[in-house]
Structures are given as structure tokens and as C-alpha cells.
Amino acid sequence: MPLVTSKEMFAKAYNGGYAIGAFNVNNMEIVQGITEAAKELEAPLILQVSKGARAYANHTYLMKLVEAAVIETGLPICLHLDHGDSFETCKSCIDGGFTSVMIDASSKPFEENIEITRKVVEYAHDRGVVVEAELGTLAGIEDEVKVSAEDSSYTKPEEVEEFVSRTGCDSLAIAIGTSHGAYKFKPGTKPQLRFDVLEEVSKRLPGFPIVLHGSSSVPQDLVAKINKYGGAMPGAIGVPEDQLRHAASLSVCKINIDSDLRLAMTATIREFFYEHPDKFDPREYLKPARAAIKAVVAHKIVNVLGCDHKI
């Protein structure tokens, strides 16, 4: 089976009350950990590549790793550009075999966001590729872009119909209180997503797939493990999993997770070196790191996304 777009996945997810996991990939062990979990649980999958990942690992290497995963697992896998920052980056991924791209012009004024998104949609649709766009601004860090909590803003529901109809985008990322990275909420506060905003958006866009970025839950056992073995991560707090599960049962069809995989990998490798300070064969620490990623992804598929046995 070749790489697929997310069109059919989203239609089934919307109607079935579940979401597809979109996991960021940067190297072979991450691709393997994610896809092994999805294969065992028969889960459709989106693997996403950021601009930073392309700079780190090279487009062709990532493309070939994902193609290898398709061959090895036989899963329907969509290969997606995460946070495309320009028409040129999107074009390069479309020309280079991705089946889905995100154009993230959410920091630009409304009209400018529409203009650049529409240009990407025209190019992508002519080539059978789907497009995710974003309205509203998430706090946190992605590549070189850092958005402070004060500069973040919830999506305005009254803008979504015009945005979607004028751009022709296939899915829409919205801001309802999630944010990128491991420090999403102030310690001592109770995280609460704005389901009222999600509901208003969904009412205006019936049947339309909504995307949530910044949806790591920052498992406290992983943070504790990192700190136990020499790390220093104070007050790392993520999105409660029950709220993500609720979002997945509504119009949210794609949930983005990266930080939790980073935490799993780092916690495992820190522990390994603490326990085995004499060892230096990368396979010895990358193997358990890959298994830790697999375990996190399996947990998300069953307990957060609800997309197990949906292929």
C-alpha cells in the first residue's frame, strides 16, 4: 500500500468518535517505535515531519524511513509536513512525496493567512495532497518560533467558516488552550481546554475535521524519571488525557503528540546511562528508548485517541 492522505481516515474518525494520532518523527528508532505500536493495535497513523526534523535528518532519509515503515507494517500511513512556514516549504514536501502538508500562517493577519493558505491548497490539491491550516495562536516553542502565553490567542469561532470556504483547506488546527512543549500550564493551576470554543467552531463547520496541536500529556512518571537520573524539569504539566479523549469523541480528528515521545526517549536513555555508566554501544540505549516510545504510542492509541482496530 502506498502512503495515503488523511481524507478517508478523518471521515471515519469523525463519524466514529475517535481521532488519529499525529506523531513527530526525527530518526529511525522513533519511526519504528511508533509504527510497531500502530501495527500491533491496527491503528491508522499520521507521521509528521517538522522543518526542524528535515533540517536534522534530511528529507530523503525521513521519506525512505517512512516508506520502509509502510512496507514493514502494511498500515495506512499519511506523511505530513508539520508547521510548514511558507509556500516554498510546503511545495518542497509536496514535490518530495508527502501526502499532507500544514501551512501555518496563524501568526499572520487573517487576510494574509487566507492568501498564503489558498495558494498552498491550489498547489497541493492539483497533486492529490491535502492541506491543514491554522487559525488562532498556540503558546510554546516550535522550531525557532517562540510564542509567549500572552501572545497566544484562542480561535475566534466567527472566523472559521469564511476561512475554510475561502481557502479550501481540508482540516483546521484551532487554539483551545493546548500549547507546544512540556510546560503547558502554570504549576498549581487546573488545566482546562475551552470546549465551548471547540463546540462553537464545530457548529459552524459540520463534518469538518478539527486538529489539536500541543497535545502531549507530559506523564509525571517520565518527568520524575528524568529528574531522578540527573535532569532538572520543574513544573512540567501537560493536557489531561481525559480532556483529549473527550475532544477526540467530538470533531477533533487529529491529535499532535511530540513532547511525550521526547520525554519517553530521554527518560529511558538517562536511566540507562545511570545504571550502566560503562556502556557506549548506541544500540544498547536506543533499543529500550524505542520500546519506551512504542509503549507511549500504544497507550495513546488505546486510551486517548480511541483509534485501535480502525483499519
Residue 53 touches which of ligand 13P, ligand G3H, Zn ion, none (Cβ within 5-8 Å per kind): ligand G3H
- For residue 43, the minimal CB distance to ligand G3H (Å) is 20
Residue 170 engages ligand G3H in binding (rule: CB under 6 A) = no
* Residue found under cell 512540556: 182
Counting other chains too, the contacts that 267-271 makes at CB distance below 8 Å and 24 or more residues apart are 267/222, 267/225, 267/226, 267/229, 267/292, 268/292, 270/225, 270/226, 270/229, 270/230, 270/231, 271/225, 271/228, 271/229
Instruction: Give the position of cell 517505535.
Output: 33
Q: Does 29 bind ligand G3H (CB under 6 A)?
A: no
Please answer whether residues 209 and 10 qualify as being in contact, where contact means their C-beta atoms are separated by less than 8 angstroms: yes
Please tell me whether residue 257 binds ligand 13P under the rule CB under 6 A: yes
> Which of the choices Zn ion, ligand G3H, ligand 13P, none does residue 215 contact, using the CB cut-off of 5 to 8 A by kind?
ligand 13P
Nearer to Zn ion among residue 160 and residue 257 (C-beta): 257
Q: Does the footprint of ligand G3H cover residue 67 (CB under 6 A)?
A: no
Task: Please state the closest distance from residue 116 (CB atom) to Zn ion, in A.
Answer: 17
Residue length of the chain: 311
The 10 Å Cβ neighbour count of residue 191 is 15
β-pairing, 210-212 with 77-84?
Answer: unpaired
- Contacts (Cβ under 8 Å, ≥6 apart) of 227: 233
Least distance in angstroms from the C-beta of 228 to ligand G3H: 24
Binding status of residue 215 toward ligand 13P by CB under 6 A: yes
Q: Pick what 257 binds: ligand G3H, Zn ion, ligand 13P, none; C-beta below 5 to 8 Å, kind-dependent.
A: ligand 13P
Residue 41 in contact with residue 48, Cβ under 8 Å?
Answer: no
Q: How far apart are CB 142 and ligand G3H at their closest, in Å?
A: 4
User: Does 184 contact ligand G3H by CB under 6 A?
Assistant: no
Which of 5, 90, 175, 180: binder of ligand G3H (CB under 6 A)? 180
Q: Which residues are CB-contacts of 67 (< 8 A; sequence separation ≥ 6)? A: 3
Task: Respond yes or no: is residue 82 known to be catalytic.
Answer: yes
Q: What residue 52 binds from ligand G3H, ligand 13P, Zn ion, none (CB within 5 to 8 A, per partner kind)? A: ligand G3H
What's the closest the beta carbon of residue 2 comes to ligand G3H, in angstroms? 25
Residue 305 CB: number of other CB atoms within 10 A? 29
Residues within the interface to ligand G3H (CB under 6 A): 24, 50, 52-53, 82-83, 142-143, 180, 258
